[in-house]
Each structure stands twice: as C-alpha cells, then as structure tokens.
Amino acid sequence: MQPIYFHDKKEYKLWELDTWKKKRYSIWTNEFPDLLLENCSGGGARFDPGMFYYSLQIWCSDNVDAIERLRIQEGMALIYPLSTMGAHVGDCPNHIVGRNIPFETRGHVAMAGTFGYELDITKISEEERIQIPGQIETYHRYQSLMQRGGLLPLGFLVRPEPYDCWEVA
C-alpha cells in the first residue's frame, strides 16, 4: 500500500488516516450533538457507509449539472435513502460540462435530495431569483415524502430509454 504524506512529511498509512478521521468525527459529534456533518465522496462516489454513524448526509458529486445529477442521484438512490443525498441548484452554464439547464429543472432535480442552492444569487437573472421562494415552498411541502418515501424508478437515463422518471411514494 502506498504511504500518504502531509505537510509534516510524516508517512501515514491509510488506516491511520481513517482512524484519525473517525476519532475527530466522534469528538465533534459528542461535543456538538446538533452539528450536521456532511461527508464528501471525494469526486468519485467514494464514501464509506460506516460514516453515516457520524454524518447523515453525503455530498455525492461536485457536478451539479441537473442532467448529470439525474444519473448520479439515480445510482446513489439505489442504495442510499434520498435524505442522505446532498443536492443543490447550481450555476449555469455548469462549471464542469458547460450546459445550460432551466432554473426550474435544476430545482426539481435538487428536490430529490436535501435541496439547497450552490450559486451566487447576485449573478442570476431576476426571472430565476423570483423562482427561489416558490422552489423552497414546494420543497417544504414535499420534504417529508422526499426524505422518507421510497424511490421507484420508472425510466432510466443510463438505459436505452431517453428519459428519466421517478416516483416517490
């Protein structure tokens, strides 16, 4: 196994870092019981299910392009509950794929997770800005269903069908 080095030039083994990380999380969650930690997949869906003990939410990808997120969230939702999936409305054009997606569509996709905004609202159009209160209201109306409901995929982007369709019940 390859050693890992940090600024102190000391050699660390992967299990040492994992032990350190879990020790830190344990201290933080015991000292601050209302603290919500969000784990990160590290850019490749590399999160440890055991980390749900410390963190009830995972940021599953830095790519917030709504079309790409459909694929990402579809895969994650096969194993993990929607309530664990960090999902945000992002900037357009997207910083990774450069695609422009309507603000409404970006909101709908983000609602299939923990829902939030990851953009500078001073740089979006007035038309988009006035949609934010309605999106938040819609999310709150269906939050319990989205967070506790079961996801039933009706169509898949990763299969031959040219659409993505889910039902939450």
pLDDT per residue as tens digits for the range 8-41: 556 656 666 677 777 888 888 889 988 888 887 6
**11-25, 69-83, 92-106: least confidently modelled range:** 11-25
Answer yes or no: is pLDDT of 1 > 50.
Answer: no
Please say if 128 is a catalytic residue: yes
Catalytic pick from 48, 91, 104, 118?
48
Alpha carbon distance, N-terminus to C-terminus of the chain: 45
Catalytic pick from 65, 68, 74, 128?
128
Burial environment of residue 33 by CB neighbours within 10 A (0 to 12, 13 to 18, 19 or more): exposed
